[in-house]
Structure 1
Amino acid sequence: MAKILILGANGKIAKLAEKELLEKTTHQLTLFLRNADRLKSSDDKREMVVEGDTTDTKSLEKALKGIDIVYANLAGKNIEQQAKSVVTAMNTVGVKRLIWISTLGIYDEVPGNFGKWNHQMLDGGYLETYAAAAKVIENSDLDYTLVRPAWLSNKDIVSYETTEKGEPFKGTEVSRKSIADFVVHLINEPDKESRHSVGVNQPNTDGDKPSFY
């Protein structure tokens, strides 16, 4: 049993991961989000909801006490600042393991027409900020895993394959349920993919763009 801090706990992937963690593990969960009224504990014996801002290092430090693993499901134009705050707080408290959700394309690793389409859709503030945040994480001393999902669907399916940093990205899409499942596997096997950046896609979804576009 480990103690897990979920940052951005009201996110869609985070909620799916929370559900799987409650159903399939005995881990204790701290659910961290800006507005605690938006989220209720599913199991008061195993969960605690904490209100806070991830750019506030003092709030993070308080939430991090006793935590074994941090799973960050964050977003926003200030994602680089959030990354800096998370790294600082984790270093201060002495928590090492971080699972960080990023996005495909931050290394210009998406090939072909899909790569061109991905740039057209995400350039101009999104890819740049997520790439900057990833650099903050990778330049830290933390035992991080950067997760780079393909374009996300709400399909009720768990089916995925992975690529490593330096390899061409595969596929065009992946379900949020698959990413949540991958996160849970990393939590259950914390040494897996340590200090790696991992692309995640649904097999056999190659194409010029995701099927839902």
Structure 2
Amino acid sequence: MPNVLVLGAGGRIARWATGMLADNDATLTLFLREAKRLTGAPASARIIEGDVLDRDRLADAVRGQDIVYANLAGDLDLQAERVVEAMEEQGVSRLIFITSLGIYDEVPGAFGEWNRRQIGGMLPPYRAAADAIEASALDYTILRPAWLTDVDEIDYEVTRRDEPFRGTEVSRKSVAAVVTDIVISPDLWSRSNLGVDKPGTDGAKPSFL
């Protein structure tokens, strides 16, 4: 199994993914701002406390990796630029990057209108992050999950960048499963941009809201 760097390792999707990757014998480096937030990390994992915007710290984390999985929040556009820069400098190509549904106005119907009202103002930096990654030479997979749940299940479908988004929600565990599948088979969804949702969850908004 490859060497995998998890950026934003304290996040809830990343925690699911870390466990799945450890079960598949990946060699893990877990990068997050506050190491004390990390619980239940595999004993064999290397843990780095730092900020993705810190060029030197990020370069140290990226060096020697086979795959970078980024599950970040905040200034996603700036963070994506730093990740691309560090990977290109260190000669690491494979990237899995989480953004958000709605960045292409690809969510149709009543749910699309509701989603724009809820998070439309937050989406420009997420779109800019995706644009920066797609403009790079990296071997990327961008994932745009639906609204997230903590249901303990793996049940998902994907849509391409140029297809209308389907569904309204998906479990964090399901998104982590997509990440894990890509790590196990790095050619899967190469240079792809995918919406991720749970089948059969179409509606005007997620069922839990």
Which category of TM-score, normalised to the shorter sequence, fits these structures? over 0.9
Aligned counterpart, 1:73: 71
Q: 1:119, 1:38 → 2: CA distance?
A: 31
Aligned counterpart, 1:10: 10
Local SS of the residue matching 2:158 = strand
How far does residue 40 in structure 1 lie from its aligned partner after superposition?
4.8
Aligned counterpart, 1:93: 90
TM-score by length of 1: 0.96
Q: 1:135, 1:42 → 2: CA distance?
A: 32
Aligned counterpart, 1:107: 104
Are the equivalent residues in 2 in contact too, given 1:41–1:49 (CA < 8 A)? no
How far does residue 37 in structure 1 lie from its aligned partner after superposition?
2.3
C-alpha offsets along residues 135-160 of structure 1, whole Å, 9 cap, x if unaligned?
A: 11111110000000000011111100
**Structure 2 unpaired stretches of 5+:** none
Identify which range, 34-43 or 130-139, moves more after superposition: 34-43
Local SS of the residue matching 2:180 = helix
Are the equivalent residues in 2 in contact too, given 1:39–1:49 (CA < 8 A)? no
Q: 2:170, 2:9 → 1: CA distance?
A: 20
Cα 1:210–1:40 shift into 2, 3 Å: closer
Are the equivalent residues in 1 in contact too, given 2:102–2:123 (CA < 8 A)? yes
**Structure 1 unpaired stretches of 5+:** none
Local SS of the residue matching 1:204 = coil
Local SS of the residue matching 2:123 = helix
Superposition pairs for residues 104-183 of structure 1, below 5 Å? 104-124=101-121, 126-183=122-179
Are the equivalent residues in 2 in contact too, given 1:41–1:47 (CA < 8 A)? no
Local SS of the residue matching 1:200 = strand
Aligned counterpart, 2:26: 27
How large is the Cα RMSD of the aligned pairs? 1.0
Give identity over the alignment, percent.
Answer: 52
Q: 2:46, 2:208 → 1: CA distance?
A: 36
How far does residue 38 in structure 1 lie from its aligned partner after superposition?
2.1
TM-score by length of 2: 0.97
Question: How many residues get paired?
Answer: 209
Q: 1:209, 1:41 → 2: CA distance?
A: 33
Are the equivalent residues in 1 in contact too, given 2:145–2:196 (CA < 8 A)? yes
